[in-house]
Amino acid sequence: MAREQLGVLNALDVAKTQWYHFTAIVIAGMGFFTDAYDLFCISLVTKLLGRIYYTDYSKPKPGVLPPSVQSSVVGVALCGTLAGQLFFGWLGDKMGRKRVYGLTLMLMIGCSIASGLSFGNSPKSVMTTLCFFRFWLGFGIGGDYPLSATIMSEYANKKTRGAFIAAVFAMQGFGIMAGGIVALIVATAFDHKYKVPSYEENAEASMVLPAFDFVWRLILMFGAVPAALTFYWRMKMPETARYTALVAKNAKQAASDMSKVLQVEIESEEAKVQELSEDQTQQFGLFSREFAKRHGLHLVGTTTTWFLLDIAFYSQNLFQKDIFAAIGWIPHAKEMSAIHELYKVARAQTLIALFSTVPGYWFTVALIDYMGRFAIQLMGFFFMTVFMFALAIPYDHWTKKDNKIGFLVMYSLTFFFANFGPNATTFVVPAEIFPARLRSTCHGISAAAGKAGAIVGAFGFLYASQSKDPTKTDQGYPTGIGVKNSLIMLGVVNFLGIIFTLLVPESKGKSLEELSGEAEEGNPQSVEMGGSARTVPV
């Protein structure tokens, strides 16, 4: 039997789209803009770091980061993000979304700046400093995932909630693109000032030190700017009514906050909140049998699909420069100067983001409340599987000079359907289907599973994509299974995503309390999810 919903929550559910919705999207979204910029800009500068700190000018090729250093530099922020998602997700349910929100932003601002600094100038000291601060940068970024998603879901109305949460996540696309644009601007400025030859023409003259050492530092430190710009507005946001009423049990404060936001008079209903707090059927914890019965399969579905998605998504993003080099879209390193190589890698990332990544996100925003989360996620995984196999199986065909544009188009389509698909929906659904007192925690667990997949993708693809021919591997790397077989493995991973999506419920068109079971009295055995006929055990 459904209980009558609190007036303040009903007012949020039925509210027309207002200015405060867009304000919340921008405030939360700029955090995600910064997250994506900080996580993915490192892939732009790793080749430059290798040239600056590991080049032996007597060798025919410029230096690259040793395997252990490369994997640490790329993966350490992901490890920090995983830890931050678990910690801040839990803290967001204990202390409130808003109180923790400012802390994550301060950490991101400080560590973005510190990432561009170093203690000493030896390769070991620079890389150690970089890895240390990027871990803590990732820790702050990790907190942004559960908090931004939860805040947006709890502010939104039920009719357009999916679009609002997806719009916050879509700022990630602009962050990836901004990383490429900033790198292009910095590379162009330094190229105009220092017109240097390619490495094979004059190895020592192809790199100007210490000037070029400032390039990667400027790119990394720019990540502090968008985060700093939103700090004031993030601190002005009121706590969400769902946390204040359902978790903190303060009906008066919830009604007061939302009256100002919605600009309507809302009754505090303290008696109803007291009744909710005394309902023992809604007091189960995360590790209880009741949670396992109601939401266990949901959590398995959200964690596994995010895990599988991020193996493919981060492999493609963090190592697209290596894929482009393998098909010849980016010239061999010795044919470019250090700054030209940065420019070429940044241009490739920016074009991919502009024509596939960003449009994919906004297709999801436009259609998620019409098609539903389940359909978009299933479709996305299906087409990612199709295009990955279409790249991998005839891989030798794509490496021929005349077919590079075709490869680029197919590769872009895998990004498009990742973002018009599971990369967005895996972020949206965990913010909707769990109870308010566990929502941030469960989103953090789901997101952390995703980052575990990203770590598998980042470390695994780094080694797996190396050539089977020992004469063609990057300096210091053992032989791998090659790009072709690595792409086949990613195709299999995407196919598994289709299977596990069947565990994820449809959440379109219902209030958060209906989806989580908090609107039910007693102990219901099942609840119909969304606008479809799919039912799931709760």
Q: What is the CATH number of the domain that holds 299?
A: 1.20.1250.20
Q: Count other C-beta atoms under 10 Å from residue 32's C-beta.
A: 25
Per-residue pLDDT, 187: 93
At 138, is the secondary structure helix, strand, or coil?
Answer: helix
The backbone torsions φ and ψ at residue 33, rounded to the nearest 5 degrees and listed phi first, read -55, -50
Backbone angles phi, psi at 528, to 5 degrees: -80, 130
Instruction: Say whether pLDDT at 537 is over 70.
Output: no
**Percentages of the chain per state (helix, strand, coil), in multiples of 5:** 75, 0, 25
C-beta of residue 399 within 8 angstroms of C-beta of residue 328: yes
The per-residue pLDDT for range 492-531, each reduced to its tens digit, is: 999 999 999 999 999 998 888 888 877 665 544 444 443 4
Whether 296 has a pLDDT exceeding 50, the answer reads: yes
Nearest in space to 513 (alpha carbons), one of 307, 276, 317: 276
pLDDT (mean) for 78-94: 94
Residue 333 lies in a domain: yes
Burial 145-154 (b: 16+ CB within 10 A, else e): bbbbbbbbbb
Reference 219, options 389, 421, 43; nearest CA is 43
Dist CA 295 CA 408 (whole Å): 41
CA angle 93, 96, 97 (to 5 degrees): 95
Residue 526: predicted pLDDT: 40
Please tell me the least confidently modeled range out of 184-198, 393-407, 462-476.
Answer: 462-476
pLDDT at 477: 67
- Structural domain boundaries enclosing 303: 7-275+288-511
The residue whose two tokens read 């640490």 is: 72
First to last CA, the chain: 14
User: Does residue 521 lie within any of the structural domains?
Assistant: no
Q: Which long-range contacts (CB under 8 A, 24 or more apart) does 70-73 make?
A: 70/46, 70/462, 71/458, 71/459, 71/462, 72/127, 72/131, 73/42, 73/46, 73/49, 73/127, 73/130, 73/131, 73/134
Q: Distance between CA 12 and CA 258 in Å, rounded?
A: 8
Mean of the per-residue pLDDT values of the chain:
84
For residue 532, tell me if it sits in a domain: no
**Is pLDDT at 167 greater than 90 in this prediction?**
yes
Question: Is 281 a member of any domain?
Answer: no
Instruction: Please tell me the predicted confidence (pLDDT) of residue 286.
Output: 85
Rounded to whole angstroms, the Cα distance separating 63 from 263 reads 61
pLDDT of residue 535: 36
pLDDT value of residue 534: 45
Q: What is the pTM of this model?
A: 0.87
Asked, for residue 516, whether it belongs to a domain, the answer is: no
Bridge-partner residues for 527, per DSSP? 536
Whether the pLDDT of residue 374 is over 70: the answer is yes
385 phi and psi, to 5 degrees? -60, -50
- Residues 241/9, Cβ–Cβ less than 8 Å: yes
For 92, 287, 312, 485, the CA distances from 419, given in Å and listed in that order, are: 27, 32, 12, 24
pLDDT digits (tens, 9 = 90+) for 23-55: 888 888 888 899 889 988 888 898 899 999 998
- The answer to whether residue 89 is domain-embedded is yes
At residue 377 the predicted structure's pLDDT band, cuts being 50, 70 and 90, is: very high
Lowest mean pLDDT among 100-114, 252-266, 369-383: 252-266
**3-state secondary structure string across 287-356:** CCHHHHHHHHHHHHHHHHHHHHHHHHHHHHHHCHHHHHHHCCCCCCHHHCCHHHHHHHHHHHHHHHHHHH
Q: What is the total count of domains within the chain?
A: 1
In contact, 25 and 167? CB cutoff 8 Å: yes
Residue 462 CB contacts under 8 Å (≥ 6 apart), including other chains:
67, 70, 71, 74, 319
User: Can you tell me whether residue 420 is helix, strand or coil?
Assistant: coil
H/E run at residue 478: none
Element housing 30 (H / E): helix 19-40
> What is the mean pLDDT of the segment spanning 149-153?
91
> Are the beta carbons of 443 and 430 closer than 8 angstroms?
yes
Q: In this structure, is residue 2 part of a structural domain?
A: no
Q: Which of the residue ranges 81-90, 330-339, 359-368, 382-391 would you say has the lowest mean pLDDT?
A: 330-339
Is the Cβ–Cβ distance between 328 and 404 less than 8 Å? yes
State how far the Cα of 433 lies from the Cα of 515, in Å rounded to an integer.
5
- The model's confidence at residue 276, banded by pLDDT at 50, 70 and 90, is low
| Cα distance between residue 150 and residue 434, in whole Å | 10
- How large is the average pLDDT for residues 384-397? 86
- Single-letter amino acid, residue 290: E
pLDDT at 473 over 90: no
What is the model's pLDDT at position 265? 77
pLDDT band at 321 (very low <50, low <70, confident <90, very high): low
- pLDDT level of residue 445 (50, 70, 90 thresholds): very high
Q: How far apart are CA 88 and CA 151, in angstroms?
A: 13
Beta bridge partners of 537: 526
Q: What is the pLDDT of residues 91-150, one digit of tens each?
A: 999 988 888 888 898 999 999 999 998 887 889 999 999 999 999 999 999 999 999 999
Number of H helices, E strands in the chain: 23, 2
Contacts of residue 201, Cβ cutoff 8 Å, sequence gap at least 6: none
Residue 528 host element (H or E):
strand 526-528
pLDDT digits (tens, 9 = 90+) for 47-79: 899 999 998 888 888 888 888 888 888 889 999
Amino acid at 368: I
- 243 pLDDT more than 90: no
- Evaluate whether residue 185 is within a structural domain: yes
3-state secondary structure 155-168: HCCCCCHHHHHHHH
The predicted pLDDT at position 472 comes to 67
